[in-house]
Structure 1
Amino acid sequence: MSLTQAAYFLAALVLLVLATGRGRVQPFIALVVAGVGFGYAAGMSTSHVGKAFGLGFGQTLNALGLTVVAAALMAEIADASGATARLRQRARGWRSQSAPLALLGLVAGLGSTPAAAFAVLDPLRRGIGGDSPRSALVLGLALSASHGLLIPAPVMLAGLTILQADWTQAAAIGLPVALLALLLGTAFARAVASGRPDPADTARALDGETLHAPRRGALALTLVSLVLVGLLIVQSLGDIASEPLGGGSNREFLIALGRPVILLLVGTGLLLLLSGHWEPGGLTEKGWAGRALTKVAPLLLLVGAAGGLSKIAQETGMAEMNAERLLGFAPAGALALLLPFALAAVIKTLQGSSLVAAITAAGMMMELVDPLGLGDPAGRTLAALAIGAGAMCVSHINDGFFWLVARGGGFTPGAALARFSLGTALQGALAIVLLIAIRLLTA
């Protein structure tokens, strides 16, 4: 039954791509129909489908929605203050616009979720990368590489904690592997995505009537973006069970710093304050606040619908059941690392959540590390890294992160699958090859 459900899921994905190609069907409508249709095909009742989709929709918007709104408000302030135009003017003289975005993604990937990190960096990306498809792809793939392989990203913390692996070894091995995955992602983005900015967006950003203190605005946008990334990283550190930043009320305060509503208030308020920008009527429906909310509404609906589809997929249990089929395959030697990687990749692909994939795959591997010859400290560490690499691929329509990158790059769902989803798969494949090579050299 699980294989049949997976086939239905694949069919829903293909139908969504065909329906949204060339603008035939609006993506949100196609995603809702695909999600509900898959639920029925998988054998769920009408009440179960409706409850699961609504629950996933609400949970996703609760976790990510206000962060996306914060990014939209910041983008409008940046445009109106001239910050976006200023950054684009400066970035045109740089040797590479992809390198700074890749480095930002590498650091921001340490935060609580790659989707939230992409959202808070999106206004800055639009300035540095000219709002080009390439800039969105570079940032998205950089976040993916970092979040799957570096500490203190929650995906890595989950695997290391459950498998009782060595954190020092994980940091020493994960960093070079993540850097190579980052280089691959950047090179792939440069090969498959255009670096030309959106002409309509460029014209709007350079409208001389809206500019106010562009140099100050550019500096403010950069500082505020880095502050928000820092809050997301502090939240990740606060989630560590050993409580390195302190426990009790202090820990709760640190975790709260990365909550969406705090990001919204800090990001918007601090950018307004530091940029010194004030547009008459800016908080009205016709001002920057109204413009931002109007623009971001379609993306919020897509992110919520992706959460609904993900929840339906989780309710079927097909991800875990299909992953369990792999447990009968026990590769020998260093190739044993293929099993934790495949478990995480199958679960992630079928149900959408990287963290759930990491936790589930690590739980499945707890009793298998010794029989597979991975029970030594180095083996456990490499197994946790393999889980992290698998948990970040393949990101597609049941993942809100996918829709943020797709909308940021102006990609259709099919184009995003051929670029971002394939990019995450290539990064994961490179990571597991490198981890196997390290096992062969150190065993």
Structure 2
Amino acid sequence: MLIIGLIIVVAALVFATVKLRVHPFLALLLAAFVMALIGGIAPKEAISVINDGFGGTLGYIGIVIALGTIIGVILDRTGAAIVMAEAIIRALSDRFPNLTATIIGYIVSIPVFCDSGYVILNSLKNALAKKAGVSMVAMSVALATGLFATHNFVPPTPGPIAAASNIGIADALGLVILFGLVVAAVAAAVGWLWASRYTHANDDELLEPDPIEEATGQEVKKPEPDLANPPTTLAAFMPILAPIILISIGSIASLATRDVDPGMFAAALIFLGQPVVALAIGVVFALLLVKGGDKRGRFHQMTVDAVLLAAPILLITGAGGAFGSVLQETPIGDQLGDMLTGLGLGLLVPFLLAAALKSAQGSSTVALVAASSMVAPLLPALGLDSDMGMVLAVMAVGAGAMTVSHANDSFFWVVTQFSRMKVSTAYKAYTTATLLQGVSAMIVIYLLGLVFV
């Protein structure tokens, strides 16, 4: 009954946002409340769960979105985004811009959470799309799927580390990383190929109107980038590179000291690697790009514009988190586990279990943690209690945790809102891509299982 209820609620959510043009913020809140009632949560408690889910999501990603948007506006207005795009095209050519975006996402998301990575790289992605003359939808899907691939398979991202620990292979994390890089490469390639279908798509039909224009009802004349005095290539990249480097170093320091008390130096690196701190430092580097007279006034106006751009993204992302939080409070995970764990399908069991959890409650990390915990006692019965069996079980859980990203996933809303994709477009272009990524990754894992298990 609960699973059927979820299917109906998600279908109604898509219908409301696509056909009835209900704002996703309101549609998600209503869906969360209805799902809470279907799941047996009392109305008063449901409101509390929704509030906690909304606040918890924004507590994690809200400031990152705001700071990342400020950086993006400054990079756009100062011409730095164009300088970066030209530098990347010079280095990699402009023949395969979607592949470039996928590779960037694949690398960045190894140490950086995919949603933080998307926020950081959004302005660069937009500039690359404009410079290469390809659809913004294609570049957005290519970047998002590249980020999503390593996010689910490759430590030090917390989800794969937790899955490896739960399954009992944390001592061989190197093997998890090695196989994760291979499987993630296949998933990223599939995402790139799917994104390439939209390379020459008509963005006017696929994207929402500018959010500021939609809110004010007036056409907003955006200042042209300052191309008369462009920044140097290094200066242009620093607002993006600095946060990525700091988060990467912080992740490595955290991983190296997770079983011991970190010293002062490691603690400092971990602090600087917190996404909020790293993005704040990125804003400082972005501020250095503002040249000419009245720097204070120009920076203030850029900040105001960034806040206006970030506001709807924050509300929708928070509401998506609230919907996912409600689903985590219902017994749907236990019901799905009971349905799948007795099937005796080898590596397909952790995949199907994680896929069901991911699709039901939205969070890839939660799916990785929960599914790995549930499947760990079943490993001997599944014939996966060897070292390689456990490594591939982690991979199977990661593949399932990709399948699929939709309206109850906060990353879905980060991608769609920063890219201004219509919800209908996002389901066709991005959600379908995550389904293909998960299934193709699982096929590779199954074949590896035939060889190594």
Alignment TM-score, normalising by the size of structure 1: 0.89
Matched, 1:318 2:324: no
**Bigger mean CA offset, 15-24 vs 360-369:** 15-24
Which residue pairs with 2:316 in the alignment?
302
Check 1:87–1:42 CA distance in 2 against 1; reply closer, same or farther (3 A cut). same
Which residue pairs with 2:376 in the alignment?
366
Q: Distance in 2 between matches of 1:176 and 1:397?
A: 29
Matching residue's letter, 1:30: A
Report percent identity of matched pairs.
Answer: 28
Q: Distance in 1 between matches of 2:32 and 2:199?
A: 29
- Offset, 1:317: 2.5
| 1:63 pairs with one of 40, 52, 60 | 60
Q: Which runs of 5+ in 1 are unaligned?
A: none
Check 1:317–1:263 CA distance in 2 against 1; reply closer, same or farther (3 A cut). farther
Q: Distance in 2 between matches of 1:238 and 1:322?
A: 37
Matched, 1:224 2:228: no
Structural mapping, 1:269-288, within 5 Å: 269-274=284-289, 276=291, 279-284=295-300, 287-288=301-302
Which residue pairs with 2:102 in the alignment?
102
Please give the root-mean-square deviation of Cα atoms over the aligned residues, in Å: 2.7
Matching residue's letter, 1:191: R
Structural mapping, 1:120-139, within 5 Å: 120-130=120-130, 132-139=136-143
Q: Distance in 1 between matches of 2:226 and 2:260?
A: 43
| 1:152 pairs with one of 149, 153, 156 | 156
Whether the 8 Å contact between 2:98 and 2:195 is mirrored in structure 1 is: no
Which residue pairs with 1:54 in the alignment?
51
1:1-40 Cα deviation digits (max 9, x unpaired): xxx2222222121112111125621111111111112212
Q: Secondary structure at the match of 2:143?
A: helix
Matched, 1:409 2:423: no
Structural mapping, 1:151-230, within 5 Å: 151-165=155-169, 166-192=172-198, 194=200, 207-208=223-224, 210-211=226-227, 213-216=229-232, 219-230=234-245
Q: Secondary structure at the match of 1:365?
A: helix
Which residue pairs with 2:404 in the alignment?
394
Matched, 1:81 2:78: yes
Q: Distance in 1 between matches of 2:45 and 2:197?
A: 44
Matching residue's letter, 2:297: G
Whether the 8 Å contact between 1:112 and 1:154 is mirrored in structure 2 is: no
Check 1:258–1:397 CA distance in 2 against 1; reply closer, same or farther (3 A cut). farther
1:350-384 Cα deviation digits (max 9, x unpaired): 11221221111111122111121111111111111
Which residue pairs with 2:216 in the alignment?
none
- Offset, 1:207: 4.9
Q: Distance in 1 between matches of 2:143 and 2:221?
A: 21
Matching residue's letter, 1:162: N
Q: Distance in 1 between matches of 2:103 and 2:375?
A: 32
Matched, 1:35 2:56: no
Matching residue's letter, 1:309: F
Aligned residues: 432
Matched, 1:264 2:279: yes
Q: Distance in 2 between matches of 1:354 and 1:208?
A: 39
Q: Distance in 2 between matches of 1:221 and 1:205?
A: 24
Which residue pairs with 1:5 in the alignment?
2
Which residue pairs with 2:351 in the alignment?
341
Whether the 8 Å contact between 1:88 and 1:128 is mirrored in structure 2 is: yes
Q: Distance in 1 between matches of 2:176 and 2:400?
A: 15
- Offset, 1:396: 1.2
Whether the 8 Å contact between 2:231 and 2:289 is mirrored in structure 1 is: no
Which residue pairs with 1:354 in the alignment?
364
Whether the 8 Å contact between 1:80 and 1:212 is mirrored in structure 2 is: no
Matched, 1:330 2:344: yes
Check 1:329–1:208 CA distance in 2 against 1; reply closer, same or farther (3 A cut). closer
Matching residue's letter, 2:176: A
Alignment TM-score, normalising by the size of structure 2: 0.88
Matching residue's letter, 1:254: L
Which residue pairs with 2:214 in the alignment?
none
Whether the 8 Å contact between 1:105 and 1:142 is mirrored in structure 2 is: yes
1:375-395 Cα deviation digits (max 9, x unpaired): 111111111111112122211
Matching residue's letter, 2:385: G
Whether the 8 Å contact between 1:85 and 1:205 is mirrored in structure 2 is: no
Which residue pairs with 1:434 in the alignment?
444
Matched, 1:253 2:294: no
Which residue pairs with 1:111 in the alignment?
111
Check 1:209–1:364 CA distance in 2 against 1; reply closer, same or farther (3 A cut). closer
